[in-house]
Amino acid sequence: MRHQVVLIPGDGIGPEICRAMRRVLDAAGAPIEWEERIAGAAAVERYGTPLPEEVIDRIRERRVALKGPLTTPVGTGHTSANVALRQALDLYACVRPTRTLPGVPSRFGAVDLVIVRENTEGLYSGIEHEVVPGVVESLKIVSERACVRISEFAFQYAVACGRRRVTAVHKANIMKKSDGLFLRCARRVAERYPQIEYDEVIVDACCMRLVMQPERFDVLLTDNLYGDIVSDLAAGLVGGLGVVPGANLGSDCAVFEAVHGSAPDIAGRGIANPIATLWSASMMLDFLGEAAAAAALMAAIEAVTAEGKTLTPDLGGKAGTREVVDAVLGRLNP
């Protein structure tokens, strides 16, 4: 059986890394039929919107997508296409495994944590208005339903993946009602998972501890904004944004994408690191029930990084995207 997957190449380095990813999966014989769709800046030019309805409909039908980064012009009327897509498909859980790959230079040896981020509300609700000229209000929406389901997801994930601890990240000392509700829900869910340790950390202290003792963390349960910030911090611990994958999961659909953005500073130069997207593709294969193919792809990626000869400039190497892809393919199909 072949899986039907919507592919959204996206903006900036998106098309080059998605092409690279597709080359690897096709050459490896992954049973996938790709259906390519346009979103992001290219869609604004063609359809007048960064996220055409039709793209959302196709993902709803196919249920699985892999996407490159989408840019949203700053300060324009368009809301972020990434945020809009997560909300439209109710992709409420964002999962970002952040692990040091062998051979990848980083400040710490063995970071291995997973960020589980609430993906649909909080300060990303996009509800802002100008109260009077010079004063704006931005609403942080927090619902019990969303807090309970993301907490439930984090604990189920911990159990399924053999993780030992879930740490809720918050700022309930200041945002007593909103983050207070988040914590109350997390605690309630934690009681039902006695086999998983549960603790809490204030987001600023979390950032410091992540830098000083990243091995202390296992699964980090966060709201939308803290998850966004902590993800980039954690990426910095394991070699940067070029090596952190992600999945946006809902009850009906799943969209896989690297944590990084469109990297306009290096777009079109053939030096973008494809590993984050290849790893996201491996997560997708796992999700599709192709565990052996997922593991083989991960093993090939790790063999290439461990060897250390074919790394892109963000990891201190001199290789281009194409050479990394060739190296991964060499390991997959020796």
The candidate with the shortest Cα–Cα distance to 258, out of 272, 240, 243, is 243
- DSSP 8-state secondary structure symbol assigned to residue 22: H
- CA distance linking residue 263 with residue 22, whole number of Å: 20
Per-residue interface string for the shown chain with ligand ATP, residues 270-309, x marking contact by CB under 6 A: --xx--x---------------------------------
Q: How many CA atoms lie within 13 A of 102 on its CB side?
A: 9
Is residue 89 at the binding interface for ligand ATP, with CB under 6 A as the rule?
no
- The CB density around residue 275, as the number of other CB atoms within 10 Å, is 30
Per-residue interface string for the shown chain with ligand ATP, residues 218-237, x marking contact by CB under 6 A: --------------------
Catalytic entry in 204, 252, 309, 318? 204
**Applying CB under 6 A, which part among 28-36, 47-55, 58-66, 265-273 lies near ligand ATP?**
265-273
Q: What angle do CA 187, 125, 129 make, to 5 degrees?
A: 130
Straight-line distance from the first to the last Cα atom of the chain, in angstroms, rounded to the nearest whole number: 25
Shorter beta-carbon distance to ligand ATP: residue 77 or 133: 77
Strands 165-170 and 219-222, sheet pairing: parallel
**Environment class of residue 191 by beta-carbon count within 10 Å: exposed (0-12), middle (13-18) or buried (19+)?**
exposed
**Applying CB under 6 A, which part among 30-38, 83-91, 105-113, 263-271 lies near ligand ATP?**
263-271
Would you call 171 a catalytic residue per the annotation? yes
Strands 219-222 and 32-36, sheet pairing: unpaired
Quick check: 205 and 216 in contact, CB under 8 A? Answer: no
Shorter beta-carbon distance to ligand ATP: residue 316 or 330: 316
34-73: contacts with ligand ATP (CB under 6 A) = 69, 71
Shorter beta-carbon distance to ligand ATP: residue 76 or 195: 76
Would you call 176 a catalytic residue per the annotation? no
Catalytic entry in 218, 228, 286, 314? 228
Residues, the chain: 334
Is residue 142 at the binding interface for ligand ATP, with CB under 6 A as the rule?
no
Is residue 263 at the binding interface for ligand ATP, with CB under 6 A as the rule?
yes
Quick check: 291 and 91 in contact, CB under 8 A? Answer: no
Shorter beta-carbon distance to ligand ATP: residue 98 or 167: 98
Is residue 266 at the binding interface for ligand ATP, with CB under 6 A as the rule?
yes
- CA distance linking residue 125 with residue 178, whole number of Å: 14
Strand, coil or helix: 120: coil
The candidate with the shortest Cα–Cα distance to 183, out of 195, 162, 199, is 199
**Applying CB under 6 A, which part among 29-37, 56-64, 100-108, 266-274 lies near ligand ATP?**
266-274
Shortest Cβ 277–ligand ATP spacing (Å): 7
Shortest Cβ 274–ligand ATP spacing (Å): 7
Would you call 124 a catalytic residue per the annotation? yes
Is residue 10 at the binding interface for ligand ATP, with CB under 6 A as the rule?
no
- The binding site for ligand ATP (CB under 6 A) comprises 13, 69, 71, 241-242, 260-266, 272-273, 276, 312, 314
The residues that are catalytic are 124, 171, 204, 228
